[in-house]
Structure 1
Amino acid sequence: MRTSSDRLYDIDGLRLLAALCVVFFHYTFSGWAGGTSPVAFAAESSWSKYGYLGVDLFFLISGFVVLMSAWGRSPRSFLVSRAVRLYPAYWVGIAVTALVAVTLGQGLFQVSLPQVLANLTMFQAVPDIANVDVVYWTLWVELRFYLLILLFTWIGMTQGRIMAGLWGWLGLTLAVEAGVLPGFTDLIVQSEFSHYFIAGMALFMLYKFGLNLQIALLVPICLGNAVFRAIGYADAVGERYAVTYSHVIITAVVVVVFLVMTLVALRVTHRLARPWLVTAGALTYPLYLLHAHVGFVVFGRVGESVNKHVLLYGLILVMLGAAYLMHRFVERPLAPRLKLLLSGRPAAAPALGVLVAGRS
């Protein structure tokens, strides 16, 4: 059983940092550049336009911590742990976002009852029903990743099986990118993000078992593919918002993301970790769920009558406060009840959670 001393507080801090990058991307760039906010932040957008890369860090962290959470679990135990982690806050986030959209967001966001009901399942992408909030798309990415982890819990996790699986997944990724496999296979392979999940899992293996030749080869290959795909994605984002992204900066950010997580796996950053960072980690998922559409509605309603910087930083503080309230009064009390309902056993102390956030 994992003890509190095993918790990676440094990852908790990285998760909140990544979330704030995404928040700044939405509030000071994509909101006004995409027409969902009347408040322009021309100066801030020169750097905040790169904030969507916070999601790249999220997926890398996810590969690491989800494998860590699943190690030694049964398939049922893993599924229960993921449901308990994701659904309570998600349901409340949908309710809050839908209520704000219906009451204050007319003309900006359209939300229907069937749409909300489909979103409650978290599988709304299957029938191609729109997300209640734009950032929810990454949950579908995570859910498909969980299916692969579930497969590992079913066959049994060993060092050899995990490494073989990671090489196989990387091979399928390269085959999809080369056009060798038909496009529909990417529904499972997820070639746009698989390198982050693969590298994150490999870095957990480094953390757990130490360095070996396979990891030393696998992670740099994933890094190379991550840079290749990140540059292509940046060009697409730049075309969407009529801005230019520096390939040098994109490359540097991706390299730094990999480097930082490698230092975590090598336990170098452990000396910088502090227990209070657990609070930072706890705020991350609720902040992700709440900030986007609700924030855009606030900017739309009062953005032209309040100093934009006062509004920006005040709104971020409000969202952090709301995230804390969601964690304190939704996640903490509901998680053990949901676990008892699903598994018949009381919940243990919360393990290191994982956050996804959207780039839009």
Structure 2
Amino acid sequence: MAPAIRDPSHAGSWYTDDSATLSQQLDGWLSKVPSLTTPIGSASSKQGDVSIPVQKARAIIAPHAGYSYSGPAAAWAYKSADWANAKRVFLLGPSHHWGLPGAATTGCSEYGTPLGNLTVDTELVGTIRKEWNLKTMSRQQDEDEHSLEMHLPYIYKMLSLHNSAFKSDASSVPLVPILVGATNSATERDLGSKLAHYLADPTNLFVISSDFCHWGSRFRYTYYQLPDGSAREIRSSSEVKKDYPIHESIKAVDFESIDAVESGEHKQFLKQLQETGNTVCGRHPIGVFMAAVEQASGLQGDGKFRFLRYERSSEVVSVRDSSVSYASAFAIL
């Protein structure tokens, strides 16, 4: 039977479908990431510089917007990871179109990219589908969702650059795609307890797909928080302090979310999201992974993310404006 290949449905719109151009773009963004940098979180920024790539960094958070917006920021996460010893890549992303209460995985055996195909670990996917009670995405649901696809070219690129097994045989480093729906805290802990089993294996690498704040009326989120902590939703008639533009509020709330993720405490992250309503679209896969770290054993690192890069699609100055934030991080497992 011929393999069921998921087509790169967003190629040609969200990113180029020309393999040579795409490869050059990825190389260009990666080349701009320094070999030594200081993390940006409140706590991580005080822990000293890190050398990139980071030894034993086997988990990353990276954005999933169109590459013209988030491609440069994503490079920071991808270049920070230690790809050399990976034998399997778990890819967790949020569901944007399917009202999914739990989680799902793919029915495909390969994921296509303009650079080449990534093989799905169909044996493990079959196992976790049964043991985790996962749903299966239809081909249409799989190809409609961009949160997983936008990471595939970067995964292919990093493996082709740094993984000798992949260079010899691309099928030797398979993919485990997991789509996470609108989960509650209990479901995230339950899924985390199942994922925790795979964290200690030094050959497993984890990619968590998430953008950060989606601000603007088109996202139904116009939260404006002043430096003193007071906050409100603003409208076109609302007054905004001239010395504290909206984009500064967005950044402040995003960095509260970043600090909550860096804390490593799943409950603290959920609490910050509840208090601010921050529209971190990958909050559920991030939550599942944080819950997994809390329940894992045998890790060589603390599993806490450290953020390296923060960008926005634009700087909002008016309620009529909008923006999406992008943040990149790594964790040592």
Q: Same fold (TM over 0.5)?
A: no
Q: Which has the higher strand share?
A: 2
Q: Which has the higher helix share?
A: 1
TM-score (norm 1): 0.27
Larger RCO, structures 1/2 (Cα 8 Å, 6+ apart): 1
